Structure 1
Amino acid sequence: MTATGSASASGIELRHLRAFVAVARRGSFTQAAQELLITQPALSRTVAQLEGGLGVRLLERSSRGVALTDTGRGFLVHAERTLAAFDAALAAAHQDLTLRLGFSWLLPDPWAQRAIAGFERDSGAQVELVRCDDPLDALNRESVDIALVRGARAVGGAVRTVHLYDERRVAVRARTEADQRETSHVPSDMPDTLRWQDAHEWTLVVNTGSGTTGPWCWPNGGGPRRYVDTANFDEWLESVAAGRGIGVVPDVAERRIHHPALRFLSLTGAPPSPVRLAYRPDNSAGAGSALLRHFLNAALDAATTCTHTGEPYP
């Protein structure tokens, strides 16, 4: 039997190639499983089926991670070419498809621009940006296909997440007369830095819909003495500007928000705030799993690029 006939009889499919390429690129079964929207055991079985069908070892597994064998390196070149050709055919059929990305406020830059551009270039589909007060609720109602969520709160059992990166937290408060004097070269007696460990002294303004900092950050107590609840980002912003209390927000806000009534402060000792993409594998109303996989690939690549180039982190 010829080699071609043997491969055909072995039942090798595109899913086997995608599994192998994802592991080879990420160097990790865990990260590759997240990319492909499958469980790690299922991914391991798929790669094992590919190696069994070919009768060769493509990957070396050890406690240090995963590495390509010499045969695996050669096979990777051909597998990527095959998948690229197939994806190009899919892109031609996807010209009218749209993936809806939900977000509550300030898509991080330059991550968002690079992720969206990479996705649209490689998939042929379009990204529709959907601003919503609660992206997770929109995801569960299937009014978006994927959601950018900030913070570490639970997302629910039906939702999966992929971690992109962590954002640094800063504090923000209303400007005072002392701040105005400072702009006139008169020193202010107001502190330029707050400490996370002093949170018990604060009144904290909380965005209960999509905020990153709230009572959940101090599950064992020790948090602010009082909270002011707001329902969304706009209410949070204006409540802080009105002097209702201290706000804590990812540092992207300091670069992007220019509100004359606000002053941003350094915040020491604060834990980072994770940024994740959330999606529902069982979403039946929106984009299919192929588009989700394309967007997750573009999103992870964009996050990695921003980190490696040393640009202002998303």
Structure 2
Amino acid sequence: MTAPRPASTSGIELRHLRAFAAVARRRSFTHAAEELLITQPALSRTVAQLEAGLGVRLLDRSSRGVALTDTGAAFLVHVERTLAGFDAAIAAARHELRLRLGFSWLLPDPWAQRAIARFERDSGAQVELVRCDNPLDALDRQGVDVALVRGSRPVGDGVRTVHLYDEQRVAVHARDEAAGGGREASRSHPPKAMADALRWQDAHEWTLVVNTASGTTGPWCWPSGNGPHRYVETANFDEWLESVAAGRGLGIVPDVAERRIHHPALRFLPLTGAPPSPVRLAYRPEAGTGSTLLRRFLDAALDAASTCTHAGGA
């Protein structure tokens, strides 16, 4: 019996890898096509060509959306590292210095503007802003050189952090608790939640909406048994925001949200007794664009943090 002929990879090009990475990152052919400025049929053909060339299925497609197969998830790690290395090589050849800053939502102001302006002025390099659901994952895949992280969750082995400042937490809930929440909405808003302020020590009464990828407030913030008794998990900031607006539960965020998010379905409340939420930069010393450029950005970031009296995040 003849062994199956292995798939040929000679026709695989960078455009195939970029197409796959975009779909995997956005979990949508439609959104990935918009990002790449190509038509959705062309994107589908490109990804199909990649799968045929490799002889494996990288994506599961269904009416509910797009998901990575186990093989696709493993392949994505190498693809993103390959693309990052290629882009860095091109930038070096063109003498274009850049540093990629990953963030999950709303870069804190005025810190970001001051840090970026000083770094670009002093180094001659450019900061590329990369929005990602989980900046630490992007850092691990070498999709970014430094990641802005909020909260006190562990960052993983081999990752160093620099503390910039602390943010104050506020509470947010659906302005119209009857909208979209049904019976769950009434459970998520006990009488104290409708007062003029909330108390951190009353957390056991809440249903808390948690962004598991990059949120600052979740089960890890309380000793065992002292936190909310009910949680609603979401995978990114947009899902978190709309789940709170739909009355699924309360949200807890740094106070920048109250200043910069204008959602007609949300109401913000002061939160007393809550611990501050740290803002940090995370990086891998052995990776990225080089220790000198990274150090100059960290210096600019710390200098900007020392001059900011108010900064915010999520």
The TM-score by the shorter chain falls in which range?
0.5 to 0.7
Q: How does 1:147-158 map to 2 (within 5 A)?
A: 147-158=147-158
Aligned equivalent of 2:32: none
CA contact (8 A) 1:204 1:245 kept: yes
Aligned equivalent of 1:305: 307
**Secondary structure in structure 1 of the residue aligned to 2:270:** strand
Aligned equivalent of 1:203: 207
CA contact (8 A) 2:118 2:300 kept: yes
* CA deviations over 1:236-287 (Å, ceiling 9, x no partner): 000000000000000001001000000000000000000000000121xx31
**Secondary structure in structure 1 of the residue aligned to 2:194:** coil
Does the alignment pair 1:279 with 2:283?
A: yes
Whole-Å separation in 2 of the counterparts to 1:228 and 1:96: 44
Whole-Å separation in 1 of the counterparts to 2:160 and 2:177: 47
- Judged with a 3 Å threshold, the aligned counterparts in structure 2 of structure 1 residues 226 and 94 are, in CA distance, closer, same or farther, namely same
Deviation of 1:313 after TM superposition, in Å, equals: 3.4
Q: Can you give the 5+ residue segments of structure 1 that lack an aligned partner in the other structure?
A: 1-92, 179-188
Letter in 1 for 2:299: N
Aligned equivalent of 2:137: 137
Q: Can you give the 5+ residue segments of structure 2 that lack an aligned partner in the other structure?
A: 1-92, 179-192
Does the alignment pair 1:231 with 2:235?
A: yes
Does the alignment pair 1:112 with 2:116?
A: no
Give the TM-score, by structure 1 length: 0.64
Give the TM-score, by structure 2 length: 0.64
Aligned equivalent of 1:258: 262
Deviation of 1:94 after TM superposition, in Å, equals: 9.5
Letter in 2 for 1:263: R
CA contact (8 A) 1:94 1:124 kept: no
- Give the length in aligned residue pairs: 207
Seq. identity, %: 82
Aligned equivalent of 2:187: none
* CA deviations over 1:1-32 (Å, ceiling 9, x no partner): xxxxxxxxxxxxxxxxxxxxxxxxxxxxxxxx
* CA deviations over 1:11-67 (Å, ceiling 9, x no partner): xxxxxxxxxxxxxxxxxxxxxxxxxxxxxxxxxxxxxxxxxxxxxxxxxxxxxxxxx
Aligned equivalent of 2:293: 291
Whole-Å separation in 1 of the counterparts to 2:263 and 2:208: 19
Whole-Å separation in 2 of the counterparts to 1:190 and 1:287: 49
Letter in 1 for 2:307: T
**Secondary structure in structure 2 of the residue aligned to 1:204:** strand
Aligned counterpart in structure 1 of residue 216 of structure 2, from 201, 205, 212: 212
Deviation of 1:191 after TM superposition, in Å, equals: 0.7
CA contact (8 A) 1:208 1:229 kept: yes
Deviation of 1:192 after TM superposition, in Å, equals: 1.5
Letter in 2 for 1:100: R
Deviation of 1:190 after TM superposition, in Å, equals: 3.1
Deviation of 1:177 after TM superposition, in Å, equals: 7.3
* CA deviations over 1:205-261 (Å, ceiling 9, x no partner): 000000000000013221001000000000000000000000000000100100000
* CA deviations over 1:130-164 (Å, ceiling 9, x no partner): 00000000000000000000000000121000000
Whole-Å separation in 1 of the counterparts to 2:159 and 2:132: 17
Whole-Å separation in 2 of the counterparts to 1:95 and 1:118: 20
Whole-Å separation in 2 of the counterparts to 1:141 and 1:125: 22
Whole-Å separation in 2 of the counterparts to 1:96 and 1:247: 41
Whole-Å separation in 1 of the counterparts to 2:95 and 2:220: 43
CA contact (8 A) 1:100 1:129 kept: yes
CA contact (8 A) 2:101 2:148 kept: yes
- Judged with a 3 Å threshold, the aligned counterparts in structure 2 of structure 1 residues 306 and 222 are, in CA distance, closer, same or farther, namely same
Which structure: larger Rg? 1
Aligned equivalent of 1:32: none
**Secondary structure in structure 1 of the residue aligned to 2:303:** helix
Aligned equivalent of 1:146: 146
**Secondary structure in structure 2 of the residue aligned to 1:102:** strand
Aligned equivalent of 1:122: 122
CA contact (8 A) 1:196 1:268 kept: yes
CA contact (8 A) 1:174 1:242 kept: yes
CA contact (8 A) 2:177 2:247 kept: no
CA contact (8 A) 1:123 1:291 kept: yes
CA RMSD of superposed structures (Å): 1.9
Whole-Å separation in 2 of the counterparts to 1:257 and 1:163: 25
